[in-house]
Chain A
Amino acid sequence: MNKLTKWVIGIIVVIAVVITGYFVSQNSSKVSTEQIKIGVVAPMSGNLAFLGEGIRDAMLLAQQDLGNTQYTYELIFEDDQLDSKITASAVNKLLGVNKVDAIVSFGSGPGNVVAPIAEQNNVVHLGIASDPNVAKGEFNFIHWTPPAEENKVFVEELQRRGIKKLGVFESNQQGAAAVMADLKEKLKETDIEIVTDQVFNVGEKDFRSIISKAKNSGAEIYLLMAFSPEVEVLGKQIKEAGINTPLTSIEAFELSEQVDLFEGEWYVNAASPTGDFTTKFEAKTNENPTLGAANAYDIFNLIVAATEAFKGSTKPTPNQIANELTTIKDFNGVLGNLSVDEDGIVISKAAIRMIKDGKPVDIDN
């Protein structure tokens, strides 16, 4: 080997060492390049696709807003049409094919399907659901203003207004049923009586006869425990039956496309997300945040917070993430100050609102 060749090899080696050293030093702050996969099961088609799309957009927004993190976070969306039967196969795909580290679900029905699967497969699961059963087990959590919180505020408002006779129209959908079960327990401790309790199936469009049954019950206010489109049709048919008794609900009114039907009526809702989130969401989607969107945004950040708490060469186990989640207190979410209780419920506040001039407004009680 002549002298020139030796010089050339030597320079190449030096350059290689410098470059390697540069990249190693850059990556030394990143302990791991491992990816955290978050599977999201929500309705992307069917009647409630607009809700699934809102959740998807909120989580993508949260991903976009994420600063520097140790780990990278991938979102994988699966459509379940809010149908528990489809949820199961969607979740199995996320686990078996995509090998996700965490699952987010929407709705109490689907949430109850995911929860045992998550528990069995040791995967963290956060449900946007009102049913506390979804949060059973080590790996399951829900982020929803819990029924207990909403009902507490609701009962207080009924008492403040001096209402003694409550009429109820309730859908037999899981989420509504969970809220009603808790409400009925709370009402036992008061002098408020449920004078009529009419139950109907999801998908029902003809409420005329159950309205006829409730008409002469003497109710001072009717609670409509239903969601779109049943709540609109019910509200319309109540008016068409010549009933002028006030109407109220827990969460349903402001989701309706026909809020005018409920003009002047008060109701209970989860507290509003921050203005900043609403602005960003509207800029991204040209729509107001839909039901569960703010929760989804927070859930993404909760998972990130719990995961980032670990510094190691490999990503934390689901067990570690779950344990970390349970310790979260006073987390600054878009739904306010969030804390996770011992039952795995992310507590956020409820508020009393009223439809005024076609828009929901907070009212002070």
Chain B
Amino acid sequence: MKKETLLQLHNVSVHYGGVKALDGVDISLDEAEIVALMGPNGAGKSTILKTIFGLAPIHSGKVLWHEKEIMPISYEIVQRGIAFVPQGRRVFGPLTVEENLEIGGFIVSDKKELRRRIAEVMETFPILKQKRKSKAGTLSGGQQQMLALARGLMTDPKVLLLDEPSLGLAPKMVKEVFAEIKEVNEKHRTAIMVVEHNIKSLLNIANRGYVLDKGKVVTKGGSQKLIESRSWENGFTVTTTSFTH
């Protein structure tokens, strides 16, 4: 059965002043799939996610949702069923874990449903249940990443955009995070687009991937093909040298 294409970037260019952050990029995300975005620093990977979310200035091209062009405005994109977990965790430090989750479900009008989702997410991430009354700023890096991911799930999104979810995490935590990503995809059929430097872990769970360099897509294909071609090795190295747990 052909999967429905949920999200597309069609020939999108993003300029920051004189700098072309994205140059005629074509990306798509189908329902229930995991797509990897890879490339060296400054390739434009995070910019793609920001563009979808209206956080980067589109110079030309279109963003399509269910094949219809949309003008990305952050808080409206959420209404459409797209959630974004930005780079660096960026939980609301002064708010408690529970309050972070409540805010994650800001657009959920049924408060009973919101409470149900909070309970569900706390089952998925037991550490969050333990720390529900703690201020998010007091959590460890790994716990904050869990919280950021959980917060992203509060709207029960059709599409989840993740920007470097393993950044700064210990290897054990990285494994856990990717396992959670996989579980979310399988359990909820959430389509996920992931930007990562941790290629090995990512390609193990992704269906397809794009390799970017200098704002352009240089390679794309199924993850098996990408693993075999190792094309993501050309021109950049991928390590995580610092981690938290």
A contacts B directly (C-beta below 8 A) = no
Give the A-binding residues of B (Cβ under 8 A): none
Give the B-binding residues of A (Cβ under 8 A): none
